[in-house]
Every structure is written in C-alpha cells, then in structure tokens.
Amino acid sequence: MSDAHHPPLRSYGRLKTRSIKPRQAALMETLLPALRPPTEPFDPRSLKPDAAEVWLEIGFGGGEHMAAQAQRRPELLILGAEPFQNGVASALRHIDEAALTNVRVLDGDARELMALMPPASLDRIFVLFPDPWPKSRHNKRRIVQAETVAEFARLLRPGGRLRFASDVAHYVDWALLRMLGNPAFRWSAERADDWRVPPADHITTRYEEKRLGDCAPVFLDFIRSSPSAQRD
C-alpha cells in the first residue's frame, strides 16, 4: 500500500500507557510469539486450513470484541492487529483464559499485516471505534483513507463485509464518504435502525461504553461487491 519512501502516517497514539501486569507480561513472552502471523507474504487460510472464514480486526484495543467473537465462532480464524502494548497484553489474557486456538495477533500496524496477504483472502474486516484524530490537521492520521479502503477492497472476497463503527459524527461521515468513494463497496443499510442500532452480532467493549465521542455509536456495514456488479 505504501512505498518505502512514504510510510503511512502513524494512526495510533501511545504504544504503552502504564506498566503491564506480571501475568500479562509473561503472556507477552510466552503466548504472543506463537500467535504472531508470518512476517513474509502469506495466505491466512494456511494458518487454519479448515477455517470456515477468515476475519481481520484492525485496532482491537483490549481485545474484548476479538476474543468474544473467536469464542462464539470457533470455526473461524480471526486475525487482529494492535500496536498498543497494554491492549495486546489484555487481549492475550482473554485469549489465554478462553483457551482460544483460532486467533492470531500482530502487535503492530494493521497496514503492515494487510500488505502481506493476497487478494480476496478475507471474509470480514472490523474497524471499530478507531482513533478519531478530531483536529482537522490530524484527520490524515485516521486509519480510514482512500488508500486503506482500496486495501480493504483488495483483501475482501466478493460478498465479504466490512464493519466500521464510531461515536464521532465527523468520522462517521468521513468513513462513509471514503468507503462509498470506492466502487467496490456498497452500504448495506436500508433503514435508520440499520446504522443506529448495534448489529445483533456486535460485542460492546469497555472503550465503546465510555462514550467519548460526540454522537451515539453508529455502525456502518459495507459489502464488497463482485467485479461484475461494479461494472453495472
């Protein structure tokens, strides 16, 4: 997505905000190395050949949504990327406590992970309550940009889905404009409740519950259209 001369702008805040509890620190040493995805180009299906679907969560925070989805759906493979160390440590605790075997974790930038995977290798992508970067001079740091949307389109199979959620009104508008600016995506909403009521399969996190934004949470579900549908 980016070339070596122009790495993408940093889209996340601090990498660590407080010391990590000893048990979680131990999991960073023991469990995390086994969960990291390859660092060379790879097909995610090779990580779990019997996976019914492969999902990616970008910026999983404390990992509550990722781990709960993985527990609910053991037939899936869920990849998650998160550079915030305290978040990764907390996610490892969830993964360990639930003895999940269908999760892989990159403690780093999701854009680096996406760049390693082949076209149409994902069934779902989640971008839930991403860092809002509310000041206009910082908007360019938002994870949703035309370039990342193009990367989402490359990675999702036709019929695959992407969920974006935010409680920052400007970011909701921003994401909608950029997602629909790419002809690969169609917004699945048919009525207001489709975006203002949390979807039945959504899992609320502690971050979401803080309601730090300026509007009620909005959920935007997009469908990756097939190449022929794009020509219509």
Does residue 86 bind ligand SAM (CB under 6 A)? Answer: no
Q: Which tokens belong to 70?
A: 């993985």
**Part in contact with ligand SAM (CB under 6 A); list of ranges 39-47, 116-124, 171-179, 200-208:** 200-208
- Nearest-CA neighbor of 109 among 42, 56, 53, 177? 56
Does residue 12 bind ligand SAM (CB under 6 A)? Answer: yes
Residue closer to ligand SAM by CB (options 135, 191) is 135
Does residue 130 bind ligand SAM (CB under 6 A)? Answer: yes
Specify the residue for token string 């390693």. 116
Does residue 115 bind ligand SAM (CB under 6 A)? Answer: no
Least Cβ distance, residue 150 to ligand SAM (angstroms): 15
Q: Active-site residue among 107, 109, 131, 167?
A: 131
Binder of ligand SAM out of 83, 160, 213, 217 (CB under 6 A):
83
Neighbours of 229 (CB within 10 A): 14
Residue closer to ligand SAM by CB (options 129, 225) is 129
Binder of ligand SAM out of 107, 123, 131, 151 (CB under 6 A):
131
Distance CA 29, CA 214 (A): 38
Specify the residue for token string 């949703």. 144
Query: Residues of 207-227 as b/e, b for ≥16 C-beta within 10 angstroms?
Result: bbeeeebeeebbbbbbbbbee
Least Cβ distance, residue 49 to ligand SAM (angstroms): 26
Q: What are phi and psi of 142, to 5 degrees?
A: -60, 145
Q: Which tokens belong to 97?
A: 């406590």
Neighbours of 200 (CB within 10 A): 5
| Amino acid identity, position 52 | A
Least Cβ distance, residue 108 to ligand SAM (angstroms): 7
Active site residue 131: yes
Binder of ligand SAM out of 35, 56, 70, 82 (CB under 6 A):
82
Which residues are tagged catalytic? 131
Q: Could you list the residues that contact ligand SAM (CB under 6 A)?
A: 11-12, 58-61, 81-84, 87, 109-111, 128-131, 143, 205, 207-208
